Amino acid sequence: MKKAPNKVNVFPQKAECTKLLNIALKTGADFAELFFESKNEVVYNVYSTANEPTMVFTSGQISGVGVRIIKENEEIYGSINEYSLAKLEKFVKDLADSFVGKQNTKPLPLGDSKPYVKAYEKLASKDDIKPVLDVLYASCKEMKKHSEFITQATASFTSSEQTVLIVNSNGIYQEDERVRSRLRFSCQAVNGEKNSSVGEAPGKSCGLELIDKVDWKKIVKELAVRAVASLDAVEMKSQTLPVIIHNGFGGVIFHEACGHPLEAEAIVKNQSVFSSMLGQQIASEVVNAVDDGSLVGEWGWQNFDDEGNPTQKNVLIENGILKNYLVDIKNGKKMNQSHTGSSRRESYKHSPTSRMNSTFIENGTSTLEEIISSTKYGLFAKSMGGGSVNPINGEFNFACNEAYMVRDGKICEQVKGATLIGNSKDVLRKIDMVAGNLELAQGVCGASSGSVPADVGQPTIRVSEMQVGGAKNE
């Protein structure tokens, strides 16, 4: 990867930013922040049913400024899609007038914007998109030709280029450039009244070269096989048993049930099952988990967080012991803890807060084969779907997209309708085996500061006992 030079597009320069910060602090605020953003996004969708594949193209662009002013524990936030200095001055003054008082804080001198890593090679454009379109068309045809039962196949490519400038009264003046691209493949199989749908959506922080980084041929072939095989899955019977959760997107359970409750925003509101538990054992000794925003080129990677601080690897759980929370500047002040480079927002329209980047359980010492062979009777959740969690008490339920019964150490029949039900505290303590096949999977995480790209992940793990819901009664 190369270091990219700073390029402050049409954003205001330091002197203008300092003036805006002083206006924001005029009525006695302790902290002021400016978040300038310019973002372009293109989407290519290819659909294939009974006819030849067809393509639909969409694009969008946003630009604007988010202004945050904090006085003690009270925050005022507003956004405007203008870069005009005169209009910005008026907008900032109107926001500052939400407070009453005299200026007692001056902005620190703004530092120099640090160089950042450029992880992309080629930006997406309508003039040079043919290689991507060839992949989308070919993938749809590959899925459709697998079986007469495949009734629909879709493929899409999305790429966005976001440039930001983050300025605050603590002396931060930092630019960053985020380029992300994602492929999505899905297919549907129908046989009489039976139907199934499967999909995968790999993504990276890169440009058009994503099609060379992803083995799309393997992905679409496996999707077609899965879709047809799923037609014969039998209904899952509700029961309590050992559950093996596969790698990659299996990490969504840890992300939702454990990651969100470790964010400072939940901690300061006492809305987390893990509040006031630093240094305590919350998981079995085989569990080590991190959130790492510094994994260059990954979907959840950024050079700097959305408060202008470098991202970093944060150890959350070590040998089962809770080591850290994910902390932003505002909540860190309330907690008397330093920030962890974990502040994120969807766009300039959103105030930032503590969020995850790439959150995963680290590799263990077992193998997938050992985990399967040592399970006399259980469920193998090979592919996870969506679910819900209550961060206050840790209770969750998640659907399995693809699951199999395990008998005498062997994978047997596929089941459908399996739902994993549990409590994050309980499940973490019951993880008794962790494999060494860590994989990350890409998603979009929603919370109070909007929707942001995030990686989930884990190696294959086994939970010694877990409740599994299903529609079968006997």
pLDDT digits (tens, 9 = 90+) for 314-356: 999 999 999 999 999 999 999 999 999 999 999 999 999 999 9
Task: Name the pLDDT band for 4 (thresholds 50, 70, 90).
Answer: very low
Task: Name the pLDDT band for 9 (thresholds 50, 70, 90).
Answer: low
- The Cβ of residue 376 has, within 10 Å, a number of other Cβ atoms equal to 11
Rg (CA), the chain: 24
pLDDT over 80 (residue 7): no
What pLDDT sits at residue 52?
72
Identify the CA nearest to 179 among candidates 148, 209, 140, 218: 209
CA angle 60/138/161 to nearest 5° reads 25
What pLDDT sits at residue 389?
87
The CA distances from residue 15 to 11, 22, 265, 308, in Å, are: 12, 11, 33, 18
More confident residue, 54 or 177: 177
The Cα–Cα gap between 79 and 93 comes to: 13
Cα-flanking dihedrals φ and ψ of residue 8, to 5°?
-95, 45
| Contacts of residue 238, Cβ cutoff 8 Å, sequence gap at least 6 | 467, 468, 469, 470, 472, 473
How much is the average pLDDT of 135-154? 94
What pLDDT sits at residue 48?
81
Task: Name the pLDDT band for 2 (thresholds 50, 70, 90).
Answer: very low
Task: Name the pLDDT band for 54 (thresholds 50, 70, 90).
Answer: confident
What pLDDT sits at residue 422?
95
What pLDDT sits at residue 392?
86
What pLDDT sits at residue 105?
94
The Cα–Cα gap between 435 and 251 comes to: 13
What pLDDT sits at residue 68?
98
pLDDT over 50 (residue 6): no
What pLDDT sits at residue 130?
87
pLDDT over 60 (residue 448): yes
| Contacts of residue 162, Cβ cutoff 8 Å, sequence gap at least 6 | 37, 38, 39, 177, 178, 179
Asked whether the beta carbons of 286 and 458 are under 8 A apart, the reply is: no
How many helices (H) and strands (E) are present in the chain, helices listed first? 10, 25
How much is the average pLDDT of 61-65? 96
What's the mean pLDDT when you consider all of the chain? 94
Task: Name the pLDDT band for 127 (thresholds 50, 70, 90).
Answer: low
pLDDT over 70 (residue 88): yes
pLDDT digits (tens, 9 = 90+) for 385-424: 988 888 889 899 999 999 999 999 999 999 999 999 999 9
pLDDT over 70 (residue 305): yes
pLDDT digits (tens, 9 = 90+) for 174-226: 999 999 999 999 999 999 999 999 999 999 999 999 999 999 999 999 999 99
The CA distances from residue 214 to 142, 202, 217, 219, in Å, are: 16, 7, 9, 9
